[in-house]
Amino acid sequence: MKLYVIGKPIKHSLSPIIHNFWIDRYNLKTKYEKKEIAKSQLATIIKQIKKKEIKGINVTLPYKREILPLIDNMSNSAKDCDAVNTVFLKKNKIYGDNTDGKGFVKSCEKNLKFNFGGTKIFLVGAGGSSYGIISELIKKKTKEIFISNRTEENVLKLVNHFKNRTTSLVPINWSNLKPNSDVSMVINTTSFGMKKGEFLEINLDGLKSSTVFADIIYKPKETEMLKKCKKKGFRTINGLDMLIYQAAISFNLWFDISLTKKDIKDAKEICERSY
């Protein structure tokens, strides 16, 4: 049975490189491929999992929330962020989990030694990835998250979803992408920057030199936003480590194999050679 990552677009995905490396290392009889699909094809994919024609899938933009009606049972993480990125059959039921937020947090903690507790975060985007990341930021006791998105209605839905939490969520107008001076991290959770020449214009004036700029995009290796931030001396991180850490969690869910630090490190080296 094969595994897939589904989405639209999907050509850029490095997930097959990561998973097939681990699959080969552990001598597993399967293969992981990418499949670009329309929303109308989601139900067919789920039926194939139920029939055991497909072992499982990763779900990426724009289907992390669209797939929810087709899921029988969800993990607490998936329920909390109302988005799914990992799907498989469990006790003859379609099971959905979300590993995005855990992958993002772990990448920042491991690579940057970043401590989210008590910090203020400026987040751009209100899609499925933002729900997963915010869910984990709240668990890490982030103090305040400022959220902006081109469609204001989506920001308000997101804020309402996480209301009455210990972390304060504050909507920010799209025309005012200017983080306050006490913001410790700026995160782009949108796909804006994947296409050549796309530039996410954020006002950097007044930010501390220790501010981190994170972009969950990993291809290109550096978006125009990250290039600008790096030139100005800010610390930056792209989405590759997030992708690898969340992939490791998915891999464990599918095969019950806990990957080692070396497995993670080797997968990253292979990905970096593919750029």
| CB < 8 Å & 24+ apart, contacts of 117-120 | 117/141, 117/142, 118/142, 118/143, 119/143, 119/184, 119/185, 120/144, 120/145, 120/146, 120/180, 120/182, 120/183, 120/184
Question: Is residue 4 packed enough to be buried (19+ CB in 10 Å), middle (13-18) or exposed (0-12)?
Answer: buried
Q: What is the phi-psi region of residue 229: left when phi exceeds 0, alpha when psi lies from -120 to 50, beta otherwise?
A: alpha
Which one of 2, 35, 47, 64 is the catalytic residue?
64
143 is catalytic: no
Distance CA 77, CA 83 (A): 9
Q: Which residues are catalytic?
A: 64
